[in-house]
């Protein structure tokens, strides 16, 4: 955003602080972005990985679905579509390389809140009346390297550069920290070869998650009962 202001795409001025409205919009933004992440990263990504065994394919499929969710957004451009896909890749990498679905939640929600509520700029083409700052009245935003007047900052070439750099950073951090992705759909406490706790994936020989009891030598058997 700083680059967009410095290059003269727009100027900002204080609109006001409507505490109740800001809290309401924050909750709405958090629920909306979290719902997208639950569907795309916590369900579709994880289930795809369990079926295919490929994080790359899981990221690709969840990114395509994430991008499709935004096709109805107003003033969508080809570059904005590319940037939405890059956002999907970034959030997917946060889950894979950093083992952090919460980072995907945080990145998504904070981006939407910062653009729409803090600075009053179009966020994926949409705006809110409860912004703290806004474009200075009487001025007209100009499309340049770091800003798209219709779609907002995320429709700009600058956003593409930042998103690619963000993906590279997340990949590098993941390699440096060596985080291993957690299987969100595995049974709690599972330790079997397929993540289900037992040799047959059900936690025990009988498939019920309870180990078979050791035989009791003093217990009656068919043989000793027949003696009597």
**Residue-level pLDDT at 43:** 93
**Residue range 168-184: mean pLDDT, rounded:** 84
**Are residues 59 and 106 both part of a single domain?**
yes
**Are residues 65 and 126 both part of a single domain?**
yes
Residue 68, pLDDT > 80, answer yes
**Are residues 156 and 211 both part of a single domain?**
no
Greatest mean pLDDT range, 54-63, 93-102, 216-225: 54-63
**Are residues 147 and 80 both part of a single domain?**
yes
**Are residues 9 and 77 both part of a single domain?**
yes
Among 177, 196, 216, the domain-final residue is 177
**Residue range 32-56: mean pLDDT, rounded:** 93
**Are residues 170 and 195 both part of a single domain?**
no
Residue 218, pLDDT > 60, answer no
What are 51's two structure tokens? 């079926």
Half-sphere exposure of 34 (CA within 13 A, CB side): 8
**Are residues 203 and 155 both part of a single domain?**
no
Range of the domain at 220: 186-228
List, for residues 188-204, the tens digit of each pLDDT value: 444 444 444 444 444 44
Residue the block writes with tokens 């369990």: 50
- Mean pLDDT, the chain, integer: 81
Task: Enumerate the β-bridge partners of residue 203.
Answer: none
**Are residues 42 and 13 both part of a single domain?**
yes
**Are residues 16 and 88 both part of a single domain?**
yes
**Residue range 45-66: mean pLDDT, rounded:** 95
d(CA 80, CA 124): 8
Q: Cα angle at 56 between 53 and 62, to 5 degrees? A: 95
**Are residues 150 and 208 both part of a single domain?**
no
**Are residues 146 and 97 both part of a single domain?**
yes
């Amino acid at each position: 955003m700083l680059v967009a202001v410095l290059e003269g795409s727009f100027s900002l001025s204080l609109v006001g602080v409507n505490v109740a409205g800001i809290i309401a919009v924050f909750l709405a933004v958090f629920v909306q972005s979290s719902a997208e992440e639950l569907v795309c990263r916590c369900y579709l990504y994880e289930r795809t990985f369990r079926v295919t065994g490929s994080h790359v394919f899981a990221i690709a499929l969840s990114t395509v679905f994430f991008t499709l969710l935004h096709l109805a957004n107003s003033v969508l451009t080809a570059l904005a579509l590319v940037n939405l896909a890059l956002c999907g890749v970034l959030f997917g990498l946060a889950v894979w390389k950093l083992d952090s679905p919460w980072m995907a939640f945080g990145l998504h929600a904070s981006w939407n809140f910062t653009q729409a509520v803090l600075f009053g700029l179009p966020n994926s083409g949409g705006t809110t009346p409860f912004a703290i700052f806004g474009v200075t009245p009487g001025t007209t935003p100009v499309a340049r390297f770091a800003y798209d007047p219709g779609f907002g900052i995320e429709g700009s070439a600058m956003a593409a550069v930042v998103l690619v750099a963000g993906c590279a950073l997340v990949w590098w951090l993941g390699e440096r920290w060596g985080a291993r992705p957690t299987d969100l759909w595995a049974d709690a406490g599972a330790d079997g070869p397929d993540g289900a706790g037992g040799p047959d994936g059900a936690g025990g020989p009988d498939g019920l998650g309870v180990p078979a009891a050791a035989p009791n030598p003093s217990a009656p058997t068919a043989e000793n009962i027949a003696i009597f």
